[in-house]
Amino acid sequence: MTKSAGLHGVYVHVPFCAKRCDYCAFATFTDRHHLQGEYVRAMRMHIDAIVKLGMPRATSVFVGGGTPTMLPAEELISVLSRIPLAPHAEVTVECNPDDITLDMMKQYLAGGVNRVSIGVQSTVPHVLQSLGRTHNPENVQRAVAYVKEAGFTTFNLDIMYGAAGESLADWQKTVADVVALDPPHVSAYGLTIEANTPLASQPDRHPDDDDQADKYEWVDQQFERSGLFNYEISNWSKPGHECKHNYLYWMQGNYDAIGCAAHGHKDGTRWWNVRTPERYIELVNGGELPISSSETLDESTKALEELQLLVRTKDGVPTTAFSPDDRSLLEGLIELVDDRYVLTRAGRLMANEVSLRLRASQSSQ
């Protein structure tokens, strides 16, 4: 029995944004706000249809985007209330700090949301501008105060390093500001360049690998000193505040997909919904499931992906995952902890190389 047995997730996608960030490749739209009401109704209908087909009770729900907080709180709650929940389910909503109000957080909590993830990215204005972000960094402190005052016992802050013009001092200020807010969980991502984004066509704004490595090593040390422990390459938490929904992904658990462009998974079959809100609304209103396409993994591919996901976490992989030759090649990047190989800090910086060696080891077995 796998660790994901008995778990079931739901991902809900809200595609509306006031402004598209320069690094964003997600299905988000800045010119479709007039569709919000129809889209919310379609999501409710979509959930109802899946429930009739036998949706298991969700152990975790994650609302992402886009900008979920662009929807009125009561509208978002009307969608989430349709999802059958297991006891102690984790329900997370991504939030823009500029949108957060005390009333919104109280409505979220009363409506079953028990975790929020706030998109901070940076607390330095010129770095936010470099990323194409529009929020006021001063609003982050206010937003966290509202989250705590409303009664949330756990939340996440999202930050990003490697933007053009971001000095080490800038990054250190962001990290210091975040730590001062005493978050139970922080996600820190290195800026990556995605195709068909404004950043992709501007090489002078691309991140430097060495700069990102230095910033990663520094932030890992600072978080550890602050009681935030790394449990996946880009995620740190206080004990007991790990994100259950993230773990579901890493354990290849099953999850449903609500909303346009949302991805789902069941027992090795992955699918994704149509990309635009118009097409999503049209299909759901017509009584059809809004699936665009799907793929089914063969057993060897599924097993390899499981290892490549697990090696990124503190749980690591079995000793049999690597051949003796590959273990030798990865000296200093992996270490034996409780009969499993886990990444060292240096190994986390070279995770793609470790994944390639996993592939080579599995191919030779």
Residue among 230, 255, 236 nearest 245 (CA): 255
What's residue 30's pLDDT? 85
Residue 290 belongs to a domain: no
Same structural domain for residues 352 and 240?
Answer: no
Whether 22 has a pLDDT exceeding 90, the answer reads no
In Å, the largest CA–CA distance within the chain is: 59
Does residue 277 sit within a domain? no
pLDDT at site 221: 97
Is the domain of 182 the same as that of 53?
A: yes
Asked if residue 164 and residue 88 are part of one domain, the reply reads yes
Give residue 73's domain range: 8-249
Residues 189, 316 within the same domain: no
pTM above 0.85, yes or no: yes
Per-residue pLDDT band for 363 (boundaries 50, 70, 90) equals confident
For the chain, the domain total comes to 2
Domain co-membership, 229 together with 102 = yes
- Within a domain: 71: yes
Predicted confidence band at 27 (pLDDT cuts at 50, 70, 90)?
confident
Give the pLDDT score at 3: 64
Separation CA 270–CA 181 (nearest Å) = 38
- Considering the chain, what percentage of its residues have pLDDT values greater than 70? 99
258-309 pLDDT per residue, tens:
999 999 999 999 999 999 999 999 999 999 999 999 999 999 999 999 999 9
Its sign, for the CA torsion 212, 68, 18, 107, is: negative
Q: Which two tokens stand for residue 178?
A: 């975040």
d(CA 287, CA 363): 44
Report residue 2's pLDDT band, with 50, 70 and 90 as the boundaries: low
pLDDT, tens digit, 9 for 90 and up, residues 305-314: 999 999 999 9
Q: Is the pLDDT of residue 89 over 90?
A: yes
| 46 burial level (CB within 10 Å; 0-12, 13-18, 19+) | buried
Helix (H, G, I), strand (E, B) or coil at 209: helix
